[in-house]
């Protein structure tokens, strides 16, 4: 049998592609090395505890948005909740609760002593307008490239909304903050560095402004907690694709991709499949290994990812009687606001709900993560890497003890993970996370048009457009699947 498409990797880019193709009646095979789907946004079990592997907050669940449409269309057994606040940002001297309402954030910032309220209002009004122009593309994915004549006309009609973004291309988010005279207002600076680090994977001082302006809206655009873990959504999407006829093969790692007359031969640990086209939900380093050659066309993207991050993790099991907020909630902890938000100084914690039964006797779990610069780590000897990661995890523990003592006191089980361990959990070479940082520069806009790496071979995921969130990777997978379906129909 020759498949229309082989999907390598069941992260959310692969899941979005698989479900979209299955909906259109394509013959699809999904090949995933792990025994569970989701990739960097998955839920795994160790020693009777269920943890989120990495990503823990997800957008796209409001009515009409991508995940909400899939849940409704396929009656997926997925329950989502909006924590209130969604995130609590804690520093040594103040705490900032962040809700799903922009006006709440503005009001809270305005309560700080000496807050420049008028300038804050002007800044957020401008940010909202600019971000709205970009988020409209996520609300109507047909407007993302590639698009047809109707969508092009829509973009032309909307051009007045896009034009104000032009002056901020190749400038940083910090430049916009300074233009509003807010660069000396610490609560805003810390908030922007925190949200930028977890979304565009860099600080506000380095982030390409249009991308950062859009991701500043992350908490206001259908962001929710998935009850039971993001793995519930990943499994539900995979089951929906299977019910529509997709051939799903978990625990089947792909070893090589070879072009053949009919398309591509995909060698797995259990045999071979042939497909007219392949969608690879992997990072460029992994794709190069599968191709078995120099893959020069991936050089630029590989270098950008290599300038990015790994994750050091603490997976915590809590005492069953821990006295915590009952609902699932999220803490963003900063130990020193004047230092870089990496290496344990900045820790993002996700605490499961009391009703989720993630551990023995219904106990709760915590996923805590911090960014680790991969270029720094990989330049070290193996022994030095171990010492460095141990120091990072010690810094994470200190930050937890100082900024979230209630979690520290309730911890009864602890599992540490380095980028190398994280690589085993999610199947990524070396444990890279987050794709290529959106640092200031025109390179951020390269690859805006989905196109094959080689004839019939496509990439999806957080390394390519639109990337860098679970919603974006799923949307990218769906867009590429649409192109694959068109090409398959023409070749049929």
How far apart CA 464 and CA 448 sit, in angstroms, is 8
pLDDT at position 446, please?
Answer: 73
Instruction: Give the DSSP per-residue string, 143-156.
Output: GSSS--HHHHHHHH
The pair of three-digit structure tokens given for residue 151, joined into one six-digit string: 């969508």
Containing 282, the helix (H) or strand (E) segment is none
Alpha carbon distance 8, 32 (integer Å): 6
DSSP 400-457: HHHH-HHHHHHEEEEEEE-HHHHHHHHT-GGGEESSS--BSSGGGGTT-S---SBTTE
Q: Do the beta carbons of residue 168 and residue 134 sit within 8 Å?
A: no
Domains of the chain: 2-42+58-79+227-304+434-491 (3.50.50.60), 101-220 (no CATH), 308-425 (no CATH)
Helix axes 284-291, 299-306, angle to 10 degrees: 140
User: Cα–Cα distance between 147 and 149 in angstroms, integer?
Assistant: 7
In angstroms, the CA 469 to CA 474 distance is 8
DSSP 27: -
**So what's the pLDDT on residue 138?**
65
Q: What is the pLDDT of residue 135?
A: 73
Nearest to 335 by CA among 409, 406, 400, 411: 400
Could you state, in chain order, the average pLDDT of each consecutive group of 10 residues for the chain (492 residues)? 95 97 96 93 91 86 92 97 95 97 96 97 93 73 64 65 84 96 96 94 94 90 92 97 98 95 94 97 93 89 91 94 92 97 97 93 94 95 94 96 96 92 77 87 77 94 84 92 81 54
């Amino acid at each position: 049998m020759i498949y229309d498409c082989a999907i390598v990797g069941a992260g959310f880019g692969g899941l979005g592609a698989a479900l979209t193709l299955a909906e259109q009646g394509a013959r699809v095979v999904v090949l995933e090395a792990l025994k569970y789907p989701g990739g960097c946004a998955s839920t795994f079990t160790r020693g009777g505890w269920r943890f989120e592997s990495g990503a823990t907050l997800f957008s796209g669940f409001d009515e009409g948005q991508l995940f909400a449409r899939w849940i409704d269309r396929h009656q997926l057994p997925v329950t989502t909740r909006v924590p209130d606040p969604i995130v609590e940002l804690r520093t040594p001297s103040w705490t900032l609760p962040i809700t799903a309402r922009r006006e709440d954030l503005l009001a809270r910032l305005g309560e700080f002593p000496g807050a420049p309220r008028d300038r804050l209002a002007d800044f957020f009004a401008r940010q909202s307008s600019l971000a709205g122009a970009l988020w409209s593309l996520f609300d109507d994915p047909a407007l993302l490239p590639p698009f047809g004549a109707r969508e092009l006309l829509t973009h032309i009609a909307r051009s007045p909304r896009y034009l104000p973004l032009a002056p901020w291309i190749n400038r940083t988010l910090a430049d916009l903050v300074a233009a509003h005279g807010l660069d000396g207002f610490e609560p805003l600076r810390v908030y922007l560095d925190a949200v930028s680090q977890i979304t565009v994977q860099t600080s506000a001082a380095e982030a390409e402004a249009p991308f950062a302006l859009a991701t500043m809206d992350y908490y206001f655009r259908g962001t929710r907690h998935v009850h039971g873990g993001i793995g519930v959504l990943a499994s539900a999407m995979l089951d929906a694709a299977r019910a529509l006829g997709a051939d799903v093969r978990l625990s089947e790692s792909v070893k090589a991709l070879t072009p053949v007359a009919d398309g591509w031969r995909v060698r797995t640990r259990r045999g071979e499949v042939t497909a007219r086209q392949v969608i690879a939900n992997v990072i460029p380093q992994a794709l190069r290994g599968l191709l078995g050659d120099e893959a020069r066309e991936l050089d630029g993207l590989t270098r950008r990812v290599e300038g990015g991050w790994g994750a050091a993790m603490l997976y915590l099991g809590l005492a069953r009687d821990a006295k915590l907020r009952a609902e699932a909630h999220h803490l963003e902890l900063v130990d020193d606001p004047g230092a870089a938000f990496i290496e344990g100084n900045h820790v993002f914690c996700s605490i499961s709900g009391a009703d989720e039964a993630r551990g023995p006797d219904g106990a709760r779990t915590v996923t805590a993560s911090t960014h680790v610069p991969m270029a720094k780590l990989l330049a070290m000897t193996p022994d030095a890497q171990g010492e460095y990661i141990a120091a990072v995890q010690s810094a994470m523990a200190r930050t937890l003890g100082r900024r979230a003592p209630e979690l520290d006191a309730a911890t009864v089980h602890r599992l540490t993970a380095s980028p190398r361990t994280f690589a085993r959990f999610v199947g990524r070479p070396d444990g890279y996370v987050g794709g290529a940082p959106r640092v200031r520069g025109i390179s951020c806009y390269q690859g805006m048009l989905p196109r094959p790496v080689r004839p019939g071979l496509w990439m999806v995921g957080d390394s390519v457009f639109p990337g860098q969130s679970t919603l974006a990777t799923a949307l990218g997978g769906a867009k590429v699947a649409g192109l694959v379906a068109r090409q398959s129909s023409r070749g049929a």
